[in-house]
């Protein structure tokens, strides 16, 4: 049957924007469907419905859903996933999505297809005369074109870890004092965003980096592409649960910009360590994920000081990004629809795995017990404390380098993984946008935490206290 005779009902809402994101992805997908298939106005006129995992679509007809990150949320597995059928298909954007699907669905499951997202490799590309463009950009903004320019594109979403870019800058400036950070941030327009902005300001002050940071407002794609092309490194250390692809990373690589990213979720599908940038190891703790970004600082500093090495990274980043072009995404959309239509139309109910069933009932129980929970982030904090973090690990372990803190040994040098203050011999106050709280610890752990504030080398007698601090994500 001709593709144009295959009837598809699209529930995507195309969003015209110069700033990219999920709306742009949906717009490209919708346009592809309109061009390559017959778009039906109503579901009952179609052979298949195309939406996202955030859409609640009635069945029949069968559904093809693009995962925009819902797999990382407990509520998806409690309420949406059980309503799917074996006639449905889910398109995942990274290996982590496929791993989650394998551990969460049992013997009867929707079909899973791979559909990586994209960077606009036509708009985001290296500039022809980078040296001249850098000089012009530096002259406009008062930057030394001979100094390393670090770029971070952040938000006030707590788990985006924008503040870690400031810490990376401070560490690099101990080696290369002239380094500067270009920080692209939106306005803080909610109470929560203002709190995150205040935390970021405190971090800059505490690390003495205010004069080394240039703040910029969000830029349309064309201008952002220019900034990326003249910068030297993108720092992207997010541990956001919805980091199922990494659009900013893909765009930076398309512009020839090497990346220091967290080894987290879909980011590891983009960055090739040592070839297009670096992946900082991540691990899970009982208070959430932690990024060991210091592990890459030496290699990053060496590359920034070596023009030949930096150029090789840039060329490799561009070549890698070309594998994630809009054209390839469009072909992937067509292939996903055709594969979904070839599958069995039998609408058997799916079956969750035993672990996923346990998560489902735990989520329902928590929402019944705590009706004040209104968002997935707050719900996740409750899951961290339930059954020693079993359900949090079920959702997050595939995204991390390691599901547990790395083993510690005598002679190891350790640093704080988050900002904290030792309040007493039994209490540590964590000052972090995602995990701010007071923790009860042993007096031995409190004593070690005081030493760790500036970095310390562990002795054999420190190991029990160090394990305690690592377990709650302080080191």
Q: Where are the domains of the chain?
A: 3-118+327-351, 130-324, 405-475
Cα-based distances in Å from 268 to 79, 119, 253, 280, 316: 29, 16, 13, 10, 15
In the chain, which residues have pLDDT < 70?
1-4, 14-20
Q: Which two tokens stand for residue 330?
A: 């469009």
SS3 call for 218? coil
Decide: residue 142, CB within 10 A, 0-12 exposed, 13-18 middle, 19+ buried: exposed
48 contacts: CB under 8 Å, gap ≥ 6: 6, 7, 8, 9, 61, 62, 63, 64, 337, 340, 341
d(C-alpha 239, C-alpha 362), whole Å: 23
Summarised one tens digit per residue, pLDDT across range 62-120 is 999 999 989 999 999 999 999 999 999 999 999 999 999 999 998 899 999 999 999 99
d(C-alpha 418, C-alpha 316), whole Å: 33
Query: Cis peptide before 61, with omega less than 30 degrees from 0?
Result: yes
Provide the strand spans (E) within 273-331.
277-280, 282-285, 288-291
**Distance from chain centroid for Cα 67:** 14
Summarised one tens digit per residue, pLDDT across range 148-186 is 999 999 888 888 999 999 999 999 999 999 999 999 999
d(C-alpha 76, C-alpha 363), whole Å: 10
Which pLDDT does position 17 carry in this prediction? 46
β-pair partners for 89? 64, 111
Say yes or no: do domains 3-118+327-351 and 130-324 share a fold.
yes
The continuous run of DSSP H or E covering 198 comes out as helix 191-206
Q: Does domain 3-118+327-351 have CATH number 3.30.70?
A: no
By the 8 A CB rule, do 388 and 471 touch?
A: no
Q: CA Rg, the chain, in Å?
A: 23
d(C-alpha 16, C-alpha 142), whole Å: 33
d(C-alpha 373, C-alpha 380), whole Å: 10
pTM of the model: 0.93
d(C-alpha 233, C-alpha 258), whole Å: 5
- The CATH number of 130-324 is 3.40.50.2000
């Amino acid at each position: 049957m001709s593709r144009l005779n295959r009837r598809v009902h699209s529930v995507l809402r195309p969003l015209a924007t110069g700033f990219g994101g999920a709306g742009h992805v949906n717009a490209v997908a919708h346009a592809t469907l309109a061009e390559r298939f017959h778009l039906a106005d109503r579901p009952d006129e179609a052979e298949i419905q195309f939406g996202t995992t955030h859409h609640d679509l009635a069945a029949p007809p069968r559904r093809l859903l693009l995962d925009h990150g819902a797999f990382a949320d407990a509520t998806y597995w409690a309420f949406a996933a059980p309503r799917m059928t074996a006639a449905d298909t889910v398109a995942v954007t990274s290996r982590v999505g496929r791993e989650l699907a394998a551990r969460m669905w049992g013997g009867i499951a929707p079909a899973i297809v791979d559909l990586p997202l994209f960077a606009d490799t036509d708009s985001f590309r290296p500039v022809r005369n980078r040296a001249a463009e850098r000089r012009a950009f530096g002259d406009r903004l008062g930057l030394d074109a001979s100094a390393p320019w670090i770029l971070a594109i952040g938000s006030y979403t707590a788990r985006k870890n924008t503040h870690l870019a400031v810490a990376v800058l401070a560490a690099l400036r101990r080696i290369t004092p002239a380094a500067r950070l270009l920080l692209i941030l939106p306005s803080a327009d909610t109470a929560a965003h203002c709190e995150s902005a205040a935390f970021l300001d405190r971090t800059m002050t505490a690390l003495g980096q205010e004069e080394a940071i240039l703040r910029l407002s969000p830029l349309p794609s064309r201008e952002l592409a220019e900034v990326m092309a003249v910068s030297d490194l993108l720092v992207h250390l997010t541990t956001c649960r919805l980091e199922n692809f990494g659009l900013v990373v893909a765009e930076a690589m398309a512009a020839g910009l090497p990346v220091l990213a967290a080894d987290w979720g879909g980011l590891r599908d983009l960055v090739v360590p040592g070839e297009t940038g670096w992946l900082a190891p991540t691990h899970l703790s009982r208070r959430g994920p932690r990024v060991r970004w210091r592990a890459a600082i030496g290699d990053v500093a060496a590359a920034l000081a070596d023009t030949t090495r930096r150029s090789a990274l840039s060329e490799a980043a561009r070549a890698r990004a070309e594998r994630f072009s809009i054209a390839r995404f469009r072909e992937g959309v067509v292939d996903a629809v055709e594969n979904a239509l070839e599958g069995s139309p039998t609408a058997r109910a799916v079956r969750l795995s035993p672990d996923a069933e346990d998560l489902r009932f735990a989520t329902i129980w928590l929402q019944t017990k705590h009706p004040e929970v209104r968002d997935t982030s707050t719900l996740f904090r409750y899951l961290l404390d339930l059954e020693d973090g079993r359900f949090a690990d079920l959702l997050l372990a595939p995204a991390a380098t390691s599901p547990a803190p790395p083993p510690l040994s005598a002679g190891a040098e350790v640093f704080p993984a988050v900002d904290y203050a030792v309040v007493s011999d039994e209490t540590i106050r964590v000052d972090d946008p995602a995990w701010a709280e007071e923790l009860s610890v042993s007096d031995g752990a409190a004593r070690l935490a005081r030493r760790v504030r500036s970095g310390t080398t562990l002795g054999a007698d420190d190991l029990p206290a160090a394990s305690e601090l690592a377990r709650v994500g302080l080191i």
